[in-house]
Copies of this chain bind each other. A is one copy, B any other.
Amino acid sequence: MRAKIAITIKPDVLDPQGKAVLHALHDLGFSAVADVRVGKYFEVELEAGTAEPEAAIAQMCEKLLANPVVESYHFTLDEGAR
């Protein structure tokens, strides 16, 4: 079972990387890009049969993967993966 987790920076918080990437994309001619936010991405492989996988992933995010002060997270679970 695989969880795909995206960690994003909260909306009002400055995202210097996103800003730099936005500029770079404009310089490269991608003028239709209005905004870029950069976050982190995790693929977490859980052993099959893990009980309450959703609660476990949410806990991992809160305890370790995301910094609740400035980031939020969301994830999807792929039952089939692997």
Contact = CB atoms under 8 A, between A and B. Distances in A.
Given A8-B41, A41-B38, A44-B33, A21 B56 contact: no
Determine how many copies of this chain the complex contains: 2
Interface in A19-58: 21, 24-25, 28, 30, 32-47, 50, 56
A32 B50 contact: yes
A interface majority secondary structure = strand
A21 B21 CA distance: 26
Contacts of A59: 30
A39 B4 CA distance: 10
Interface of A: 4, 6-8, 21, 24-25, 28, 30, 32-47, 50, 56, 59-60, 63-65
